[in-house]
Copies of this chain bind each other. A is one copy, B any other.
Amino acid sequence: MDEVDRSIVAVLEADGRISNAELAARVGLSPSPCLRRVRRLEETGVIRGYRAVLDPAAVGRGLRVFAGVRLVRHGRADVVAFERAVVRLPGVVQCHHVTGDYDYLLHVEVADLPAYEDFHANRLAGLPSVAAVTSYVTMKTLSAGSR
């Protein structure tokens, strides 16, 4: 990871579909060594993949909610069971194991408030060991620059 590699990942983070030819020009290389560096960054896991960024509302994920979850018990079996189950729930984007007032902070995206009510009452509350759920419903999201 030298300066050129850092430039490459910065450009690809902002535009993941840029052509190798233009990427090379932007970082001051010719296409051959540029492509070699990109492949190496992919192989070593610095670049994990590429994704299209979608309009949430257009694909049925217009409501974003963060849900703080506390568990009743914290034995290994309880934790494993919860973690396995929660990432399989439709609408769960990420599940963060956090310090603080909650055990987990869930990033959830669903169509609308009725869909979240269903998620909350019929999916999440029924998971093993879930003691309490606190929901933070997103009204607006501001993004920082290129991300």
Q: Which of A89-147 contact B (CB under 8 A)?
A: 89, 92-102, 105, 134-145, 147
Bound CA span A51–B12, Å: 6
A55 CB contacts on chain B under 8 angstroms: 45-48
Bound CA span A90–B94, Å: 23
A77 CB contacts on chain B under 8 angstroms: none
Bound CA span A95–B138, Å: 10
A138 CB contacts on chain B under 8 angstroms: 96-98, 105
A9 within 8 A of B: yes
Number of copies: 2
A13 touching B144 in the complex, CB below 8 Å, given contacts A64-B96, A96-B66, A136-B100 = no
A134 CB contacts on chain B under 8 angstroms: 100-101
* Interface size grouping (class) on chain A: 35 or more
Residue ranges of A at the interface with B (Cβ–Cβ < 8 Å): 1, 6, 9, 12-17, 45-55, 58-59, 64, 66, 68, 83, 86-89, 92-102, 105, 134-145, 147
26 A–B contacts, CB within 8 A, in A order:
A12-B51, A15-B50, A46-B54, A46-B59, A47-B52, A51-B147, A86-B142, A87-B142, A87-B143, A87-B144, A87-B145, A93-B144, A94-B141, A94-B143, A94-B144, A95-B141, A96-B136, A96-B140, A97-B138, A97-B141, A97-B142, A98-B138, A99-B135, A100-B135, A105-B136, A105-B138
If A15-B50, A83-B142, A98-B139 are given as contacts, then 11 extra A-B residue pairs at C-beta distance below 8 Å, sorted by A number, are: A1-B58, A6-B59, A13-B54, A48-B55, A50-B50, A66-B96, A88-B144, A94-B144, A96-B140, A97-B140, A97-B142
